[in-house]
Each structure stands twice: as C-alpha cells, then as structure tokens.
C-alpha cells in the first residue's frame, strides 16, 4: 500500500490543513493500492505563499545555479527511474515495459532537454536601441492529467524552474504516485524551500483555488477541453496567463504510394499504445478508398494481434485508467454500433478471459468523418478508419475537426507528405515516424493555445520587458 497523504510545501512534507483522504484504485485489479489526501483551499494558500516568498530569491539566481540544480535532479531522477515506472504502472495501468520505458523515459528526456535549452537560452537581447529582457513570470500553478503522468509534470516543472519561476503542482487524483516520487526527487536534489510545491486532491477544489488565486501569475494546464474552459474563466478575474494543452482527434493519412499493410498495421498498433489514452493519438486513420479492402484486413490483423492483460506481464496493452473511463469508452463503442459504423475488430465488453480490471478490446471501426466516434475524443483504444478519394479530400477530412493537436502522414514521397503537412491545421505532424524533444508541442483550435517542449516551452513561463535607451 502506498501512502501519499502528505503534501510537499515550503521544502517540507506536511499534513493537510484539514485531513480528508481518498482511495487510489489499481485499474488492473480494481483493488485499493493506496490513499491520497484531498487538499483544500487552505493548503493552496500555504503553498502559494511559500512559492511567492521563494520567488524573490529564485528569480534572481544565475543560470549556473539553476543548471546545477537541474543536474542534481537529473542524478536523482535517473537513480529512481525504475520506481517511477512502477508507480506509473500501478496508478494508471500502463504495461511495466511502457511505464519504466517511454513513460518514465519521457520525463528524463524533458529534463535533459531543459538543461540543453538553459545552457544556451538568451534571456537578454539587444535589438537596435532596445534591450529586451525575458524575465520569469512568477508563481505558476501546474495542473496535469493522468495519461502520461510524468511527461506532463516534467514538461511543466522543469521549464518553470529553469526560467526562474516557482510553482505549485496539482497532479491528477487518479495517478498521484509518480508525482509524489518526483517531489521526493526534487527534495533530495536540494531544491530550495518553496521553489517547487505539490498538493494532491480534487481538480474542482485545488485546481480551481489555484486558477482563482490572486497571487498565482500563471496556470499551465494539460487536460480536457471542458476543464480548460473552466480554468480560463476562473483565471480571468485575476488576469492570469493561462496555457492550455487540451484534447485531440488527430488524423493519420496513409498515402497511396506507402506500403499500405505495414503502415496501417503501425498506425493501428500505435493507436493502442497506452490503451489509446494519448492526446495526440492518430485516432482517425485515413486511407485511399481505392485500397480500403486491403487496409481493413491489415487493421483487423493488427488490432487482433494486440495482447491485452496484466500490465505486470508481457503485454502490449493494460487496462484503461478507471471505471468511469471504461464506461465512457463502452458508450462510444455502443454509439458507433448505433450509428451504423462497421465494426472491424474488438467491440463491447472486456477481452475474453479478463473478468476483472478496466480492460477494453482494441477496437477498429470503419465510418465517415461525420460519425460521433470520428468527431469526439474517445480517449481509449478505439480507431476509426475513413476513406479518401484524393489528396485534397484527405486534407479536407483531416481539417474537418474541432481539434488540431497532432497529425501523421505515411508515404514514400516526402515532398507530397510535407505539402500535406503544410495544409493541415494542427500543431505537430509526424511524417514516417520521427521524434524530437526540442520540437514545440501544442494545439490549434480546441486543442489549446500553449506550446510546450524545448525552447518554446521556456517562453510559456517568461515575461518580455523592453528597455529603450535614448541618446
Ligand atoms: P481532466 O481535464 O479531467 O483533468 C486534468 C487535471 O485537471 C486533473 O489534475 C484534474 O484534477 C484537474 N481539474 C479537474 N477539474 C478542474 C477544475 N475545475 N479546475 C482546475 N483543475 C481541474 O483531464 P484528464 O481526464 O485527467 O486527462 C485527459 C484529457 O487530457 C484528454 O482530453 C487529453 O486529450 C488531454 N491531454 C492533453 C495533452 C496535451 O498535451 N494537449 C496531453 C495529455 C492529455
């Protein structure tokens, strides 16, 4: 049993102001795995006050001091990589190979990237007669979701710290363990009191108190669209900067010249990674109508081959995060059936042989882009396949979405792929794979307004000052 009932405030592990706890459920077993404290607005006030005090000195530290701390954190993070991965598996059900691999590894990557960016970042620049300064915005409230829990925490905490900001982190209630370990890492590495604080609990209480708090200068939020809208409203009265990283319904276009079977299989199994709980997942697979039959066969074979089960065993897919998430996904599968979409693989209920745990069948539908399952973010292992007639049609379908977070193009002719990417109204596009920690990540349209990762992630936390010097 894990105990995460204390908060990290002002460099110390402290009891909540008003004791109240909630169980944490292991999604693979449906058993209680531990408890967290549910914080209150009083805890938020304490943490914000500590962060405000610490900002006075932390905002004036040198780049070298901040680099030294980031490197000390890196040493601790590396030493606890396995712990972090195991915590992710226990809290949100990712297979252990994914938890200890990409899940924990993304955090290590963002940490290394923050160090590389800080080593060369220009906090000052002379343009003509104007001296331009980039200064830390102040106290930041960082609110994160459960799906890639370390990725989302580290992509905020380290740029905030590197730019001289102080922060109060509110991790997801469903996945509190990895953030708790990160706080232990920050403490052991010698983070000065108040520079980083962490409070667990409910979004509607802690997140809302942070968003409305007059002494918080900025909120960086990753999560769902409705909560992002609520945070923006809550933050409006205090004129805070609000960075939003929201949901997606990203298109994966397979070009006619691509090796269709290989690429459809890659897109299908890619959709099932992390049980489909990835904001930038390619959840709409666009294939040429002329080759639909071949594509359907390849998608079915790939989905049927995805192994599902105990995340501590050698499987490709664990459960989804919670009972309520399981129910939402089942409702969407039912909607797909009701709408007359063609079920290619998977469907309702748990996979055969799994009668406990929030397991979902890897599911593929064929449908048109106006189906509800093609328009709304399902956030589960459900892929929709849509046919296109020509490249203009493919782009039109890709762009016919309220969201604009990710996009994928697979094909041999890179010029054609890049030309399509240019026309797609979306924040990040991967052509034939590829991955870069320095590439800015964020959304168009309802997918948000922020840009995280690499140097762009630093700008989120900086104010810009012009000093104009006359003769
Ligand atoms: P969520 O919006 O329910 O919760 C996210 C966080 O917000 C949690 O910590 C939650 O406690 C908190 N919260 C809830 N209500 C709040 C309120 N009123 N005020 C302040 N905070 C509040 O999202 P989720 O279910 O945890 O995550 C899934 C969503 O996150 C999906 O839509 C997914 O696409 C999105 N997401 C986006 C990105 C991205 O980078 N764009 C990355 C990962 C996940």
Q: Give the binding-site residues of ligand 1, using a 6 Å CB cut-off.
A: 143-147, 152, 170, 172-173, 203-204, 207-208, 211, 222-224, 227, 230-231, 245-248, 279, 377, 379, 405, 443, 447-448
Q: Distance from the CA of 141 to the center of ligand 1, in angstroms? A: 14
Q: Which atom of ligand 1 is nearest to the CA of 247?
A: 34
Give the residue ranges of DSSP H helices in 129-207.
149-162, 177-188
Q: Distance from the CA of 450 to the center of ligand 1, in angstroms? A: 14
What 3-state DSSP class applies to 255? coil
| Tens digit of each residue's pLDDT (9 = 90 or more) over 32-67 | 999 999 999 999 999 999 999 999 999 999 999 999
Mutate to test the pocket of ligand 1, among 107, 145, 176 (most ligand atoms within 8 A of CB): 145
- How many Å apart are CA 105 and CA 85, to the nearest integer? 9
| Tens digit of each residue's pLDDT (9 = 90 or more) over 249-307 | 999 999 999 999 999 999 999 999 999 999 999 999 999 999 999 999 999 999 999 99
Pairing between β-strand 342-345 and β-strand 241-245 as defined by DSSP bridges: unpaired
Q: Distance from the CA of 146 to the center of ligand 1, in angstroms? A: 8
Given the residues 86, 90, 225, 245, the one annotated as active site: 245
Q: Which atom of ligand 1 is nearest to the CA of 448?
A: 41
Q: Which atom of ligand 1 is nearest to the CA of 210?
A: 20
Given the residues 100, 279, 367, 460, the one annotated as active site: 279
Whether 294 is catalytic: no
Question: Which residues, in sequence order, are bridge partners of residue 12?
Answer: 9
- pTM for the whole thing? 0.98
Residue closest via CA to ligand 1's atom 10 equals: 203
Q: Distance from the CA of 178 to the center of ligand 1, in angstroms? A: 16
Q: Distance from the CA of 147 to the center of ligand 1, in angstroms? A: 9
Residue closest via CA to ligand 1's atom 20 equals: 207
- How many Å apart are CA 144 and CA 91, to the nearest integer? 14
- How many Å apart are CA 31 and CA 310, to the nearest integer? 13
- In tens digits, what is the pLDDT along the chain, a chain of 471 residues? 888 899 999 999 999 999 999 999 999 999 999 999 999 999 999 999 999 999 999 999 999 999 999 999 999 999 999 999 999 999 999 999 999 999 999 999 999 999 999 999 999 999 999 999 999 999 999 999 999 999 999 999 999 999 999 999 999 999 999 999 999 999 999 999 999 999 999 999 999 999 999 999 999 999 999 999 999 999 999 999 999 999 999 999 999 999 999 999 999 999 999 999 999 999 999 999 999 999 999 999 999 999 999 999 999 999 999 999 999 999 999 999 999 999 999 999 999 999 999 999 999 999 999 999 999 999 999 999 999 999 999 999 999 999 999 999 999 999 999 999 999 999 999 999 989 999 999 999 999 999 999 999 999 999 999 999 887
Whether 245 is catalytic: yes
Q: Distance from the CA of 62 to the center of ligand 1, in angstroms? A: 34
Residue closest via CA to ligand 1's atom 11 equals: 203
Mutate to test the pocket of ligand 1, among 198, 213, 227, 244 (most ligand atoms within 8 A of CB): 227
* pLDDT at residue 56 in the model: 98
Class of residue 387 by CB neighbours under 10 A (exposed 0-12, middle 13-18, buried 19+): buried
* pLDDT at residue 95 in the model: 98
Q: Which atom of ligand 1 is nearest to the CA of 174?
A: 26
DSSP code for 430: E
* pLDDT at residue 452 in the model: 98
Residue closest via CA to ligand 1's atom 12 equals: 203
Residue closest via CA to ligand 1's atom 14 equals: 203
Q: Distance from the CA of 447 to the center of ligand 1, in angstroms? A: 12
Class of residue 415 by CB neighbours under 10 A (exposed 0-12, middle 13-18, buried 19+): exposed
Angle made by CA atoms 176, 46, 171, in degrees to the nearest 5: 15
* pLDDT at residue 430 in the model: 97
- How many Å apart are CA 200 and CA 180, to the nearest integer? 9
Q: Distance from the CA of 224 to the center of ligand 1, in angstroms? A: 4
Cβ atoms of residues 175 and 321 within 8 Å: yes
């Amino acid at each position: 049993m894990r105990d995460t009932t204390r908060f990290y405030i002002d460099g110390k592990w402290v009891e909540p102001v008003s004791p109240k706890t909630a169980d944490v459920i292991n999604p693979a077993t449906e058993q209680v795995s531990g408890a967290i404290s549910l914080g209150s607005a009083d805890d938020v006030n304490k943490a914000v006050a500590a962060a405000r005090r610490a900002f006075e000195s932390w905002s004036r530290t040198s780049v070298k001091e901040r680099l030294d701390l980031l490197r000390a954190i890196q040493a601790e993070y590396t030493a606890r990589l396995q712990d972090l991965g195991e915590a992710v598996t226990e809290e949100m059900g990712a297979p252990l190979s994914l938890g200890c691999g990409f899940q924990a590894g993304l955090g290590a990557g963002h940490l290394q990237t923050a160090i590389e960016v800080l080593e060369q970042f220009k906090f000052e620049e002379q343009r003509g007669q104007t001296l331009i300064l980039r200064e830390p915005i102040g106290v930041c409230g960082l609110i994160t979701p459960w799906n890639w829990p370390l990725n989302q925490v580290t992509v905020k905490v380290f740029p905030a710290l590197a730019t001289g900001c102080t922060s109060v982190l509110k991790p997801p209630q469903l996945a509190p363990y990895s953030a708790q370990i990160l706080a232990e890492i920050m403490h052991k590495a010698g983070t000065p009191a108040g520079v980083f604080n962490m409070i667990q609990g409910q979004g509607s209480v802690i997140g809302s108190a942070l968003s409305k708090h007059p002494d918080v200068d900025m909120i960086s939020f990753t999560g769902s669209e409705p909560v992002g809208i609520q945070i923006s409203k809550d933050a409006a009265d205090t004129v805070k900067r609000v960075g939003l990283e929201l949901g997606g319904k990203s298109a994966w276009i397979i070009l006619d010249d691509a090796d269709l079977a290989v690429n459809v299989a890659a897109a299908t199994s890619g959709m099932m990674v992390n049980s489909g709980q990835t904001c930038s997942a390619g959840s709409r697979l666009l294939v040429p109508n002329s080759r639909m039959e071949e594509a359907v066969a390849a998608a079915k074979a790939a989905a049927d081959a995805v192994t599902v089960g105990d995340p501590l065993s050698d499987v490709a897919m664990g459960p989804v995060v919670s009972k309520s998430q399981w129910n939402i996904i089942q409702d969407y599968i039912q909607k797909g059936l009701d709408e007359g979409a063609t079920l290619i693989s998977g469907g309702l209920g748990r996979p055969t042989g799994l009668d406990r745990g929030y397991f979902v069948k890897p599911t593929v539908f064929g449908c048109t882009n106006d189906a509800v399952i093609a328009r709304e973010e399902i956030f589960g292992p459900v892929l929709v396949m849509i046919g296109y007639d020509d490249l203009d049609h493919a782009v039109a379908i890709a762009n016919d979405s309220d969201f604009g977070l990710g996009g994928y193009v697979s094909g041999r002719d890179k010029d054609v792929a890049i030309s399509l990417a240019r026309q797609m109204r979306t924040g990040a596009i991967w052509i034939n794979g590829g991955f870069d920690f320095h590439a800015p990540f964020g959304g168009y349209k309802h997918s948000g307004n922020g840009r995280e990762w690499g140097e762009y992630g630093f700008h989120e936390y900086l104010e810009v000052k012009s000093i104009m010097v006359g003769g």
